[in-house]
Amino acid sequence: MDTLSKSAPACDPGQRLTADVVVIGAGIIGASCAFALARAGLAVHLVERDAPARGTSGACEGNLVLWDRPTSADLHLAMWSHQRWAELAVELPAQTGIDIEYDRKGSLMIVRDEGDVAAAQVKCAWLAAEGVPLEWLDQAGVHAAEPDLAPDIALAVHFPADAQIEPRLATAALVSAARGLGARIHNHEAVLSIESSEAATMVQTVRHRITASWVVVAAGVWTPDVLRMLGVDLQVSARKGQIAIVAGAPIKVHHKVMEASYMTTVANDETELQVAAVVEATRAGSILMGSSRLLTHPNDRRVDLEVVNRIVAKGVSLFPGLASGKVVRSYAGVRPLSPDHSPIIGPLPMAPRVVLATGHEGGGVMMGAATGDLVACLIAGRAAPVPFEPYLPSRFFSH
Amino acid sequence: MPDLLIVGAGPAGLSATNKAGQLGLDCVVVDENTSAGGQYYRQPPVAWANDRPSDRLLRGRAKIERATAAATFRLGCAVYGIDAEHRIWLDQDGSVERVEPACVLLATGAYDRPVAFPGWTLPGVMSAGSAQALIKSQQVRPGARAVVAGSGPFLYVVALELLHAGVHVIEVIEAATVRSALPFLPDSMRYPARLAELVGYALPLLRAGVRIRRGAMISSAGGDQRLEEVRVRPVRSGANDPPLERVIDADLLCVGYGFAASTELAQLAGCTLAWDRGLQQNVPAYDEWQATSADGVFVAGEASGLGGAPVAECEGELAAIGVARHLGRISDAGAQRMAEPIRSRLRRLRRFASLLPRLFPAPPELAELARPETIVCRCQNVTFERALEAVTHAGATTLNEVKTTTRCGMGWCQGRICGGLLPSLLAQRAGTGFDPASGFTARNPVRPVQVSSLAAIGRVEPSDHGGPGPDHP
């Protein structure tokens, strides 16, 4: 059990601290960065204005799904991350006592509309060439895999490697593991200002002045607010998604079951509301229904009941047996969307000691484990299993 | 759309309805219960003839009859959502709709504050309010041999009702003592009628041979599959001695250590909350017209602070006048004239009401009862130990943070039970750092709602349908 935070001496307000790296934001990305950096032997301070996983990471499904990745760069990072999560699912509970509820349940992409068939074929050919395991299921195969699916569903693709984790517990476990490796965790400590020179950085929080060699900004949809402290303007949009939780429906859902149109809603630039069905069961026994995408402002966590209606209608069309259940809760989160839909990982060209790790949209959990490792490789000057270039922030700052 | 939607048909809601009717407001009253009256004026089903109805029952019946003539009543109808524009989502037997009244009055009352002690989840252990509801609306006798434990006049009311229902009430375990009440007695003497009312509840109990044990409280409940024995202890014990327990054989334990108000609707409507000493929680703040900080949203009765039914009724009337004034149906001067006598009555009633939590405080020793393995979130089976660790090890300072790592509050009851018991429990047991005023963030839907009902609306595209749609302005 981790009691380091209790036994550590209390800091005076305004105390000066030094570190190798300050990580700003304790969502899944910041927690993963802090863990990977601490594991690389660096002195890390993780600064969070609220508490771990209280933002987007606390309001998502914990998808470890490969097939919705829109670009090769995303897919390569996701495949690396996929492997890392399988390892972390063993390592983190051993180190922290926290079970992250890793479940390699596989996913089903339901191809229902004629129009989706061609797109699904193109996508699957690409995924297969990239080495993603998949199999096409005909009507009998679909219903053998998910007996409670609507009888008219006749085509689906099964991705046996896809998995799920509990994102709140995973974040808590990464934070706890980082702390076990000596990282200092500063919860409820907002950042007031950041300074950056060629040699060092300084982060002024409400309680501390931390001098460090590097700053990692993992502030999700709030990244633009943090970068503004450095006079840097970078667009990270907030794309809201809602989830409805159903209890009491007499059905079983074994996989993550998603409409093929889900990948379109991930990849496009639509500003109006988009809804694509995602249905899955949780370990606690309830059923989660998603998904929606709507551009909004970063602090809009309001559940719109009219959107719940749309999500629920889509879900029932996949699993008619859901109709007799009850929606017991709903919640909303805001996905950090970069201008080109790919994550932004790497140093700012105008402040190279400030490293960004943001913009993962709905793939933050999926790509989170590898993002931490990639940031650690960048800072430690080591090679990584994927090239750095596709993720670098410099792509948004052309001269 | 109506001028006023009243949520809750208890004393506050009924008084507001009658006043709103007099003022010519177009008013709709919704209540989850299938009959009006709330907990205080709870009416038995019509089919059950009652040959000796109480005064209160008759008063309630008269109020309900008047109110029914003055407004549209929708009983068995749940408000499952509200937003900052006070659009309101209703669920009546699986038929859902959205209404947009000009004003809304939240008169949702309070419920028994749950207490976690070993055995509290056993069948046979229930809140005093649940026992009362079973007797009054279902005419079900909830047990044969009962112990009633808690603090305050509501205990005696429930004990008496159990007695009338033919339950053998063995003991009433009252936390307060005459000594603890002594400092407040001189003030209390200024309200002889209210004191007589309290004595009026206790006397028939004593006459029937019910023992009233003061300065005692529940310690644990035990039994195989269901309640068989109740352990009670003195509230205060020697510094290092374990408190001396006494065992009572019983199959029913009714627990009532004060109340909690549901504030989800107020939070979602954007009302500013403020700390309430009597309820020990944040409740919507309101002005002299019972108006909250959210435009057009009013609050009355226990939902905004403890006061009892007479206070709730005055507040309901004031709120109705406030709504008529807000909508410009009456002048400010006219409203002030109407409000003045109600306000002076209310001032006196509130002074007495403020004494009650001091005469009958919920003992802080209740927080000693939960053991590591005691369940604190019934829906998700979370133990006290896990919730405590979220604070002591992971550093959680608010209830929302505890939820993040433990799942407390993510179940069917949407946090109403653990949200009522955890803040004070964790604040006392975890030491400094945990905020006793913290609660779960309210989210729509606030009540479970049938999937098929929502799907029926959600399937219709907004373009070819005139009713509520996803982007309906």
Residue B198: pLDDT band by 50, 70, 90 thresholds?
A: confident
Domain boundaries along the sequence of chain B: 4-112+260-330, 125-257+361-366, 370-464
pLDDT at A248: 92
Q: Are strands B259-261 and B110-112 parallel, antiparallel or unpaired?
A: antiparallel
Can you give the pLDDT at residue B46?
A: 61
Please report which confidence band the pLDDT of residue B196 belongs to, taking 50, 70 and 90 as the band edges. confident
* A303 with B458: Cβ contact below 8 A: no
Quick one: residue A340, left, alpha or beta (phi over 0 = left, psi -120 to 50 = alpha)?
alpha
Chain A interface includes B443 (CB < 8 A): yes
For the segment B321-335, the average pLDDT, to the nearest whole number, is 97
B410 interfacial to chain A (CB closer than 8 Å): yes
**Does B473 lie at the interface with A, CB-CB under 8 angstroms?**
no
Residue B100 to residue A256: CA distance in whole angstroms: 38
Query: Taking the alpha carbons of B316, B318, B319, B325 in that order, is the dihedral positive or negative?
Result: positive
CATH superfamily of B4-112+260-330: FAD/NAD(P)-binding domain (3.50.50.60)
Chain A residues closer than 8 Å to B438 by CB? none
Q: What is the mean pLDDT of residues B88-115?
A: 94
B460 band by pLDDT with thresholds 50, 70 and 90:
low
Phi and psi (nearest 5°) for A289?
-120, 130
For residue A314 the two structure tokens come to 């889509």
More confident residue, A337 or B278: A337
A313:B455 CB<8 A: yes
DSSP B278: T
Q: Tell me: the pLDDT tens digits for B30-45?
A: 999 999 999 888 877 6
Q: Do domains B4-112+260-330 and B125-257+361-366 have the same CATH topology?
A: yes
Is the pLDDT reported for residue B239 higher than 80?
Answer: no
Write the CA distances from A136 to A71, A256, B292, B404, integer angstroms.
22, 16, 58, 37
Give the chain A residue nearest B88 (alpha carbons). A305
Residue B353: its pLDDT value, please?
A: 85
On chain B, the residues whose CB falls within 8 A of the CB of A3 are 392-393
Residue B454 has pLDDT above 60, yes or no: yes
- Quick one: pLDDT at residue A399? 59
Secondary structure class of B95 (helix, strand, coil): strand
Alpha-carbon distances, residue B262 vs A89, A197, B437 (angstroms): 39, 52, 14
Residue B466 predicted with pLDDT over 80: no
Cβ separation of A326 and B471 shorter than 8 Å?
no
Chain-centroid distance, C-alpha B351: 21
Angle between the N-to-C axes of helices B332-359 and B309-326, in degrees from 0 to 180, rounded to the nearest 10: 150
What integer pLDDT is reported at residue B467 of this predicted model? 41
Does residue B52 have a pLDDT over 80? Answer: no
Query: A282, A302, A312, A319: best mutation site toward chain B, by most B Cβ within 10 Å?
Result: A312
Residue in B394, B395, B444 closest to A303 by CB: B444
Contacts of A188 in chain B (CB under 8 A): 397
What count of CB pairs under 8 Å joins A to B?
A: 128
**Own/partner pairs, A133-137, CB within 8 angstroms, 24+ separation:** A133/A159, A133/A160, A133/A161, A134/A67, A134/A158, A134/A159, A134/A160, A135/A160, A137/A108
- Domain B125-257+361-366, CATH among 3.20.20.70, 3.40.50.920, 3.30.450.60, 3.50.50.60: 3.50.50.60
CB contact under 8 A, B395 and A323: no
Q: Tell me the domain boundaries of chain A.
A: 12-68+167-236+341-396, 107-160+237-337
Mark yes or no for CB contact B393/A3 under 8 Å.
Answer: yes
- Confidence (pLDDT) at A7: 38
Give the DSSP H or E segment for A17.
Answer: strand A15-24
Chain A partners of B405 at a C-beta cutoff of 8 Å? 98, 168-169, 172
For residue B240, the model assigns a pLDDT of 61
CA distance B412 to chain A (A): 6
The one-character DSSP state at B332 is H
Q: What is the pLDDT of residue B238?
A: 61
Q: Which residues of A touch B456 (CB under 8 A)?
A: 313
How far, CA to CA in Å, does B244 sit from each of A9, B146, B172?
40, 21, 18
pLDDT of residue B10: 96
B364 in contact with A, Cβ within 8 Å: no
Partner residue facing A328 (CB), from B393, B448, B470: B448
Q: Are B151 and B358 in contact (CB under 8 A)?
A: no
Between the alpha carbon of residue A270 and those of residues A114, A273, B328, the distances in Å are 22, 8, 44
Question: CB-CB: which of A168, A169, A330 is closest to B443?
Answer: A330
- Nearest by CB to B405, from A169, A304, A331: name it: A169
Best mutation target, A282, A310, A314, A317, to test chain B (most B CBs within 10 A): A310
Nearest CB to B470; choose among A306, A315, A331: A306
How confident is the model at residue A266, as a pLDDT? 85
Q: Do B401 and A307 touch (CB under 8 A)?
A: no
State ipTM: 0.88
Contact at CB, B400 and A54, closer than 8 angstroms: yes
pLDDT in 10s for each residue of chain A, 399 residues: 333 333 344 445 589 999 999 999 999 999 999 999 999 999 999 999 999 999 999 999 999 999 999 889 999 999 999 999 999 999 999 999 999 999 999 999 999 988 889 999 999 999 999 999 999 999 999 999 999 999 999 999 999 999 999 999 999 999 999 999 999 999 999 999 999 999 999 999 999 999 999 999 999 999 999 999 999 999 999 999 999 999 999 999 999 999 998 888 888 888 889 999 999 998 878 999 999 999 999 999 999 999 999 999 999 999 999 999 999 999 999 999 999 999 999 999 999 999 999 999 999 999 999 999 999 999 999 999 999 999 999 999 975
Give the list of residues 6+ apart from residue A162 with CB closer than 8 angstroms, or none: A63, A64, A65, A66, A67, A104, A105, A106, A107, A255, A256
Across the interface, of A309, A316, A326, the residue whose CB is closest to B448 is A326
What pLDDT sits at residue B49?
Answer: 54
d(CA A115, nearest CA chain B) in Å: 20
CATH code for the structural domain at A107-160+237-337: 3.30.9.10
CB B82 within 8 A of CB B89: yes
- Per CB-CB distance under 8 Å, the chain A contacts of B414 are 328-329
CB neighbour list of residue B278: distance below 8 Å, 6 or more residues apart: B305, B306, B353, B354, B356, B357
Contact A309 B412 (CB under 8 A): no
In angstroms, what separates the C-alpha of B393 from chain A's closest C-alpha? 6
Is the CB of residue B380 less than 8 Å away from at least one CB of chain A?
A: yes
Asked if the Cβ–Cβ distance from A326 to B451 is below 8 Å, we say: yes
Full DSSP string of A26-95:
-SHHHHHHHHHHHHTT--EEEE-SS-TT-SGGGGS--EE-STT--SHHHHHHHHHHHHHHHHHHHHHHHH
Q: Are B396 and A247 in contact (CB < 8 Å)?
A: no
- Report which residue type is found at B384: F
Q: Smallest Cβ distance to A305: which of B398, B414, B445? A: B445
What fold does the segment set A12-68+167-236+341-396 form as a domain? FAD/NAD(P)-binding domain (3.50.50)
Contact B404 A168 (CB under 8 A): yes
pLDDT at A236: 97
- Collect all residues of chain B within an 8 Å Cβ-Cβ radius of residue A305: 80-81, 83, 89, 98, 444-445
